[in-house]
Structure 1
Amino acid sequence: MASDDTEIDETRTWPELAIGLYERLTGRGAEIAYEFEDMQVDVPDRVGDDANHARWRLDGTLTIRTSENDE
């Protein structure tokens, strides 16, 4: 329990973790780097059971940078 009696949301999935991390880092000049080794992703060309898939292979680093926009 948090000391200020507020409930702490529990992260239950990888997407929730990624979204929470991105939201906290956005606007702070943060950088998130993901490293992949022999990762394969099957990307569908449409929604549905009969979709064809393209296989993408990732081996290296994907870097996502955030920065503040001056408006």
Structure 2
Amino acid sequence: MSDSDSSPESVDETTTWPDLAIGLYDRLTGRNAEIVYEFEDMHVDVPSGTGEDVEHAPWHVDGTVRITTREEE
């Protein structure tokens, strides 16, 4: 599909994991939805800031992160 074929109702293509997570959460919020992320032995070096010479904190995730939403009555 070319740009000239797109309509305001078309869905933008997601190109990053954070965008995917945000889009999924936004779509499911208010629908009694649940998002579950399961990690097995995941290691992440979290930077202390931006730039070339930043320190990193090692994080280890081994388990489940559960995000739930529910519609208020």
TM-score range, shorter chain: 0.7 to 0.9
TM-score, scaled relative to structure 2:
0.74
Shift of 1:35: 0.5
TM-score, scaled relative to structure 1:
0.75
| Structure 1: gaps spanning 5 or more residues | none
Q: Does structure 1 residue 31 correspond to structure 2 residue 29?
A: no
Determine helix, strand or coil for the equivalent of 1:37. Answer: strand
Which stretch of structure 1 is more off in the superposition, 25-34 or 13-22?
Answer: 13-22
Determine helix, strand or coil for the equivalent of 2:63. Answer: strand
- CA distance in structure 2 between the partners assigned to 1:56 and 1:8 by the alignment: 34
Determine helix, strand or coil for the equivalent of 1:11. Answer: coil
Q: Does structure 1 residue 54 correspond to structure 2 residue 57?
A: yes
Shift of 1:10: 2.1
Number of equivalenced pairs: 67
User: Over aligned residues, Cα RMSD in angstroms?
Assistant: 2.0
Fraction of identical pairs, as percent: 63
